[in-house]
Amino acid sequence: MIPVKKRVLRPFLIEIALYAVFVLAYFLSVLHFLGGWLGDLFEHQREWYAAVTIILVVVQAAGLELLTGWILRWVRQRLE
């Protein structure tokens, strides 16, 4: 039987590592694909820039939560 600390700590560390990788990938992809457009939006239409960036933050949070939740459920099943 796995001790309680290991059973709790391992998925937590896996989740943190996954979040780090996914946040970096998301940041780099947004920077690559939307960087120029967001820069123009920032310079010329600040209100729209604010709205778009808030939407991007919400989409990132929801998407990462769904993705890491699914992966963690899969990892927990494999560890049991």
Radius of gyration (C-alpha) of the chain in whole angstroms: 18
What pLDDT, in 10s, does the model give residues 3-33? Answer: 777 777 887 888 889 889 999 999 999 999 9
DSSP secondary structure letter of residue 35? H
DSSP 43: H
The C-alpha atoms of residue 58 and residue 13 are separated, in whole angstroms, by 24
Neighbours of 68 (CB within 10 A): 19
pTM of the model as a whole? 0.77
Band of residue 2 on the pLDDT scale cut at 50, 70, 90? low
Mean pLDDT of the chain: 89
Instruction: List phi, psi (to 5°) of 8.
Output: -90, -40
pLDDT of residue 38: 97
Contact 51, 42 (CB under 8 A): no
